[in-house]
Chains A and B, each alone.
Chain A
């Protein structure tokens, strides 16, 4: 009987997981997707505990209690601005679990491991451990524990590829001779080192792509674990996670007009050293009062949020400013670039947290034709995604990247801490235009002051351009 029940329970769970992703295609049904995913997970766990010969319950119980104890605060208390690092951390946890199971499987069954299983086991362990350390470094960079600037030296690609190559060669040796167990710790060590090396050279602007890629690796390694354990639920769930990571990486790469190879091994950020050398040109700056005047006189305003808004936790102030302008009869829209922020959809989540209706959020394709008829574009902590060099300067590392055409608007206000360049390390022509005004300061504080100034201005029945 239980021979039947276990596969059926797993099949049910796999179907639940597919439905969970399907329902995520619309905000109105998305929460149902979470429910069905939870049901599938519960069924799978209970079926496993009942269906397999589990003789040792004590450690499982302790591990589950500890996992819940850490998981609940991680899920409920982490602020929305810290979602990218939480996501990276959970990729690390997931990959660690996979790597550890693979390690134990090897030592339990060697040398009687058939070649195909050994291939899957090797890939599981390599992907698992490189994703573990890679994600930890990514989380550290996002949290500000590890230096955000890319760490680059000569011959880095050669070193990195040799490390990965060596690990894969050792896997190949194990496939031929599964008993050569001296190699196994070396494979683990090389994979751990490769993960660190891979991500340490990545700058903040590339984080959305790298997080997506690590997401895909974590899924793929779970699938490999499914091959090793001959467990098809794992294969399906891992494949779903892997394709989601692949899909998001492609979306991110497209949004930056770059390839995977270019992100992982390319020279983005290599220009950083040259930044200090750029000559300081004069910019126009305004104070919050003048900015309030400009915004109040506009018929239409488009707000462009970027990582700076997240860093300053200014999303609530930005929403307040939008509401204040709406009350004054100004048309207010938000323009979201796919790579604004540190992970896919980062800006959408922050603005949703601040109660901005998603009807007011526009993607690049929808808002660009509107920008020439826009009176004021207010850029809050975004840089590379509004840099006109992406359209004009063939020498620029961001050349060809689809950007928000902020420079098409009648006037532009840029809220920025200082004249430091963006994470791509490129100077931004937008800041030097005659119609651009810089509003320097911490986004949260400065926008708060603009709101105050705005409330001092008399209300008008009709806005004039």
Chain B
């Protein structure tokens, strides 16, 4: 196994555990924004698309790369915008009425 691959595998496995640990703490209340945010973040594939589209190696690579840039860019823009729109609604709720920690066990008074 090459060293580069070994390091990449380490990063992949550790990032997966880190992601899982962090995401477990997101309350059910915010699961829809969670999905739209991770969706926007995974549009980081725009990086690969840009490298491909800009390489000038072959015409088909430029075309496929450009379509990929378009698709990723759509996700980045719409993903961040709609997540923020949703979170704005939740934020509004939290600040007006008394706060209750959504992570806490929801025991009503």
Interface residue ranges, A against B (CB under 8 Å): 13-14, 17-18, 20-22, 24-28, 30-31, 33-34, 37-38, 40-41, 44-45, 48-49, 52-57, 59-60, 62-64, 66-68, 70-72, 74-76, 78, 80, 83, 86-87, 90-91, 93-94, 96-98, 100-101, 103-105, 107-108, 116, 211-212, 215, 218-219, 222-223, 225-227, 229-248, 251, 333, 336, 338, 343-346, 348-349, 352-353, 355-359, 361-363, 365-367, 370
Contact = CB atoms under 8 A, between A and B. Distances in A.
A97 B45 contact: yes
A352 B86 CA distance: 8
B51 to A, nearest CB: 5
Contact of B33 (A48, A100, A345): A345
Interface in B34-49: 34-49
A355 B93 contact: yes
Contacts of B52: 101, 104-105
A240 B75 contact: no
Contacts of A45: 46-47, 50
Contacts, number: 397
A333 B50 CA distance: 49
Interface string B1-41: 11011011001100111111011111111111111111111
**9 nearest CB pairs, A to B:** A67-B73, A75-B81, A71-B77, A345-B31, A54-B54, A366-B106, A243-B19, A345-B32, A344-B31
Interface in B57-109: 57-58, 60-103, 105-108
Given A98-B48, A108-B58, A226-B48, 7 more contacts: A26-B102, A70-B78, A75-B79, A226-B8, A227-B12, A239-B16, A251-B28
A211 to B, nearest CB: 7
17 contacts: A21-B23, A25-B27, A26-B103, A30-B33, A60-B65, A62-B66, A70-B78, A71-B75, A74-B77, A107-B60, A234-B44, A242-B19, A248-B34, A348-B28, A348-B31, A357-B94, A358-B94
Given A31-B91, A239-B16, A59 B62 contact: yes
A63 B38 CA distance: 22
Nearest to A60: B53
B57 to A, nearest CB: 6
B69 A348 contact: no
B39 A52 contact: no
B81 A24 contact: no
Point out which of A57, A101, A251 has the most chain B C-beta atoms below 10 A from its C-beta: A101
B56 A55 contact: yes
Contact of B50 (A26, A48, A96): A48
Nearest to A346: B32
A237 B42 contact: yes
B32 A344 contact: yes
Contacts of B101: 26
B108 to A, nearest CB: 6
B41 A17 contact: yes
